[in-house]
């Protein structure tokens, strides 16, 4: 059943490390599930970025104004309605006006721009880096927790993902980084995309669609097929679309040598490239999950972090070693193991399950394992994915079923529209997205389940 705490109806504080999809979802579930919960969200970047739309920004740089935004206080429909009802209740007009100025979760959640470097399990606190200028907001060097969720995500080669900055205007700096990359691409005559997964295919399609027959685009993949982690029909559809739109697709070849203006594959093929985009996968940001203990096998010293060699995550997404006291959870791309796809959809599901288990711990209820907790009792999470092929075509996967064409493109557009507005905490957009997500999971595990 996992390690459980039985303190009921008492205030508790959760530190969420990471402000991406998993971190924001976890904070929202916690704040909406228990009025006594407060959260600190620690994020090194200091902004939210809708990563699935980054590739569109490289051909339409103005799109970065929409998808890179400051962090907004997570809201829930219940708290919004509660504030609204409080404002229309009989009271002095002045008091109602003052109340309306405040966000329903104001004071319950705090964003800290900084890098979490260690977890101090003995004192139950997350240690922050204080070496860099502007590394953290204020004078805090550590943040205490009753529970902690590690949602540090993954990295990817720039400019596909941002890496954070010490600048005060972090949002504008990230937007400018994207625009500089878009300018380099616009001025290039030849482009090489290395990697035939989701990111490589989408990027090659964006370039081919935005600059039809204007640039020589080559996609190089070491796999024998495109989109090798999806059903074969997805890779075949993507290959046909790319070839039709003038992209040269080289399969079963890796990059053996790279120079300033060209690269050479393992098959001896020379590919000219004014710009090279490396799309060969991301790496989990697992610094908090690396062991640094030199003394104790049972309980870590004060400044100790977990590691793959020493820690393990149980089915409740909870660090199961005794010295973690059952209070540290993991969600998103940084979860150890390769059983789940590293997608925004999966990060949302894991964060929801981990946050719900924290609420269960606090209230004395039994925790539920992942993915059963969020997949209607099914032991395997559904595989749901969209792949854009520029604006007007795409691929939609639901388990082993693949749908290609304009309908998939429309689905991806609606998904982006809702998620961006949910990130801006437009409450009804978030409620609609949550309902659609639940309906999609239900359909995937019933109608499309094996």
Task: Give the pair of three-digit tokens for residue 263.
Answer: 């690269």
- Report the alpha-carbon distance of residue 185 to residue 188 in Å, rounded: 5
Lowest mean pLDDT: which of 48-57, 106-115, 258-267, 378-387? 106-115
Place of tokens 């997404």: 317
Residue-wise pLDDT tens digits, 97-114: 343 344 455 578 998 888
Instruction: Of 48-62, 161-175, 336-350, give the range with the top mean pLDDT.
Output: 48-62
Residue 321 CA from chain centroid, whole number: 26
Residue-wise pLDDT tens digits, 136-146: 444 568 899 99
User: Average of pLDDT values for 329-343?
Assistant: 83
Residue-wise pLDDT tens digits, 185-210: 999 999 999 999 999 999 999 999 99
Provide the mean pLDDT of the chain.
83
- Report the alpha-carbon distance of residue 293 to residue 310 in Å, rounded: 10
- pLDDT grade for 22, boundaries at 50, 70 and 90: very high
Task: Give the DSSP letter string of 87-137.
Answer: HHSSS-HHHHHHHHTS-TTBTTEEEEES-EEEEETTTTEEEE--SSTTSSS
pLDDT the model gives residue 340? 74
Task: Give the pair of three-digit tokens for residue 246.
Answer: 């003038």
pTM equals 0.86
Q: Which residue has the higher pLDDT, 135 or 442?
A: 442
Q: Which pairing describes strands 401-404 and 393-398: parallel, antiparallel, or unpaired?
A: antiparallel
- Report the alpha-carbon distance of residue 77 to residue 169 in Å, rounded: 31
Residue-wise pLDDT tens digits, 394-441: 999 999 999 999 999 999 999 999 988 888 877 788 888 889 999 999
Strands of 255-258's sheet in order across: 255-258, 262-265, 270-272
């Amino acid at each position: 059943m996992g390690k459980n705490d039985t303190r009921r109806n008492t205030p508790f504080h959760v530190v969420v490390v990471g402000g991406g999809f998993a971190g924001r979802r976890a904070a929202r579930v916690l704040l909406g599930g228990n009025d006594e919960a407060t959260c600190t969200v620690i994020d090194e970047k200091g902004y939210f970025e809708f990563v699935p739309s980054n590739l569109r920004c490289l051909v339409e740089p103005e799109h970065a104004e929409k998808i890179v935004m400051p962090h907004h206080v997570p809201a829930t429909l219940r708290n919004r309605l509660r504030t609204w009802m409080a404002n229309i209740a009989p009271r002095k007009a002045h008091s109602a006006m003052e109340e309306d100025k405040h966000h329903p979760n104001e004071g319950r959640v705090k964003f800290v721009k900084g890098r979490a470097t260690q977890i101090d399990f003995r004192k139950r606190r997350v240690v922050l880096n204080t070496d860099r200028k502007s590394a953290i907001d204020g004078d805090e060097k550590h943040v205490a927790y009753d529970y902690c969720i590690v949602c540090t995500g993954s990295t990817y080669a720039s400019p596909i993902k941002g890496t954070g900055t010490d600048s005060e205007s972090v949002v504008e700096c990230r937007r400018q980084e994207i625009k500089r990359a878009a300018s380099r691409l616009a001025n290039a005559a030849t482009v090489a995309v290395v990697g035939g997964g989701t990111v490589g295919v989408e990027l090659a399609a964006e370039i081919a669609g935005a600059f039809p027959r204007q640039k020589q685009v080559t996609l190089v993949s070491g796999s024998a097929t495109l989109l090798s982690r999806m059903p074969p029909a997805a890779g075949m559809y993507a290959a046909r679309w790319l070839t039709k739109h003038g992209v040269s697709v080289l399969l079963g070849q890796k990059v053996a040598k790279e120079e300033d203006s060209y690269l050479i594959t393992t098959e001896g093929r020379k590919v000219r490239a004014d710009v090279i985009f490396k799309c060969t996968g991301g790496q989990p940001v697992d610094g908090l999950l690396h062991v640094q203990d030199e003394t104790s096998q049972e309980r870590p010293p004060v400044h100790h972090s977990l590691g793959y060699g020493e820690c393990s995550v149980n089915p409740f997404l909870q660090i199961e070693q005794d010295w973690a006291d059952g209070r540290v959870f993991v969600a998103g791309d940084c979860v150890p193991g390769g059983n789940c796809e590293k997608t925004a959809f999966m990060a949302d599901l894991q964060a929801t399950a981990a946050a719900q288990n924290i609420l269960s711990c606090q209230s004395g209820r039994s925790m539920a394992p992942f993915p059963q907790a969020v997949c209607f009792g099914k032991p395997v999470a559904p595989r749901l994915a969209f792949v854009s092929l520029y604006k007007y075509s795409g691929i939609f996967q639901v388990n082993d079923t693949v749908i290609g064409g304009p309908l998939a493109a429309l689905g991806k557009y609606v998904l982006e529209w809702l998620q961006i507005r949910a990130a801006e905490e437009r409450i009804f957009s978030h409620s609609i997205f949550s309902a659609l997500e639940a309906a999609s999971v239900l359909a995937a595990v019933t109608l499309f389940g094996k």
